[in-house]
Chains A and B, each alone.
Chain A
Amino acid sequence: MDGAETPLLLVADLTKVYGEGDTRVEALRGVSFTVPAGDMVAIMGASGSGKSTLMNILGCLDRPTAGRFELAGEDVARMTRDELAEIRNRRIGFVFQNFNLLPRTSALENVELPLVYSSVRGGEIAARARAALERVGLADRAHHAPSQLSGGQQQRVAIARALVNEPSLLLADEPTGNLDTATSLEVMQVLGELNREGMTVLLITHERDIAGFARRVIVLRDGEIVEDRSNDGGRAPRSGGGGTGR
Chain B
Amino acid sequence: MRRLWLLLRVALRAIARNKMRSGLTVLGIIIGVAAVITMVAIGEGASTMVQSQIASMGDNIINIFPGSSVGPGGRHGGAGSASSLTEEDAAAIAQHVPTVKAVSPVAISGGQVVFGNQNWSTSIFGGNTDYLAIRSWPLAGGSHFSESAVRGAAKVCILGQTIVDQLFGGLDPVGQTIRIRRMPFTVIGVLERKGQNTWGRDQDDIIIAPYTTVMKKLSATTRLSMILASATSMADIPQATADITQLLRARHRLAPGADDDFTVRTQQDVADIAGSTARVMRVLLAAIASVSLLVGGIGIMNIMLVSVTERTREIGTRMAVGAKGWHVLVQFLAESVVLACLGGALGVALGFTAAKLVAHFARWPILIAPASVALAFGFAAVIGVFFGYWPARKASRLDPIEALRYE
Contacts and interface: CB of A to CB of B under 8 A. Distances in A.
B2 A102 contact: no
B319 A85 contact: yes
Interface stretch (A40-48, A111-119, A135-143): A111-119
A86 B324 CA distance: 7
B320 A117 contact: no
B401 A56 contact: yes
Interface in B293-327: 313-314, 316-327
Interface residues of A, number: 30
Contacts of A94: 320-321
Nearest to B316: A100
A165 B13 CA distance: 24
B321 A61 contact: no
Interface centre among A88, A116, A161, by most chain B C-beta atoms within 10 angstroms, is A116
Contact of B322 (A56, A104, A114): A114
A205 interface: no
B318 A113 contact: yes
Question: Chain B binding site: helix, strand, loop or mixed by DSSP?
Answer: helix
A100 B401 contact: no
B320 A59 contact: yes
B332 to A, nearest CB: 15
Contacts of A62: 401
B132 to A, nearest CB: 73
Nearest to A123: B2
B273 interface: no
Interface string A68-108: 00000000000001100110111000101000111111000
A125 interface: yes
A82 B317 contact: no
A231 to B, nearest CB: 28
B317 A116 contact: no
A100 B320 contact: yes
A61 B6 contact: no
A234 interface: no
A165 B322 CA distance: 10
A166 B313 CA distance: 24
Given A62-B401, A116-B6, A125-B2, A88 B314 contact: no
Contacts of A82: 324-326
A61 B405 CA distance: 12
A91 to B, nearest CB: 9
Given A85-B322, A89-B322, A118-B322, A96 B404 contact: yes
A116 B3 contact: yes
A21 interface: no
A102 B317 contact: yes
Nearest to B4: A122
A165 B323 CA distance: 13
Contacts of A101: 317
Interface residues of B, number: 24
Contact of A122 (B2, B314, B322, B400): B2
B313 A100 contact: yes
B17 interface: yes
B320 A88 contact: yes
A116 B307 CA distance: 21
B404 to A, nearest CB: 7
A114 B2 CA distance: 14
A154 B7 CA distance: 23
A117 B401 contact: no
A34 to B, nearest CB: 24
Interface in B1-29: 1-3, 6-7, 13, 17
A104 B13 CA distance: 10
A88 B323 CA distance: 9
Nearest to A120: B3
B321 A113 contact: yes
Nearest to A171: B320
Nearest to A116: B6
A117 B325 contact: no
B133 to A, nearest CB: 71
Nearest to B17: A104
B337 to A, nearest CB: 19
A90 to B, nearest CB: 7
Contacts of B324: 81-82, 85-86, 117
B322 A86 contact: yes
A158 to B, nearest CB: 10
A61 B401 contact: yes
A94 B3 CA distance: 22
Interface in B252-288: none
Nearest to B400: A61
Interface string A114-154: 10111000110100000000000000000000000000000
Nearest to A83: B324
B323 to A, nearest CB: 5
A161 B321 contact: yes
B314, B316, B317 interface centre (most CB from chain A within 10 Å): B317
A161 B6 CA distance: 16
Contacts of B319: 61, 85, 88
A183 to B, nearest CB: 21
Contacts of A123: 2
Contacts of B3: 116, 122
B5 to A, nearest CB: 8
Contacts of B327: 117
Nearest to A90: B322
Give 6 nearest A-B pairs by CB, closest first.
Answer: A89-B322, A122-B2, A114-B321, A117-B322, A85-B324, A100-B317
12 contacts: A81-B325, A85-B319, A85-B323, A86-B322, A88-B320, A94-B321, A96-B404, A100-B404, A112-B6, A117-B321, A117-B324, A125-B6
Given A122-B2, A125-B2, 4 more contacts: A61-B320, A61-B400, A86-B324, A94-B321
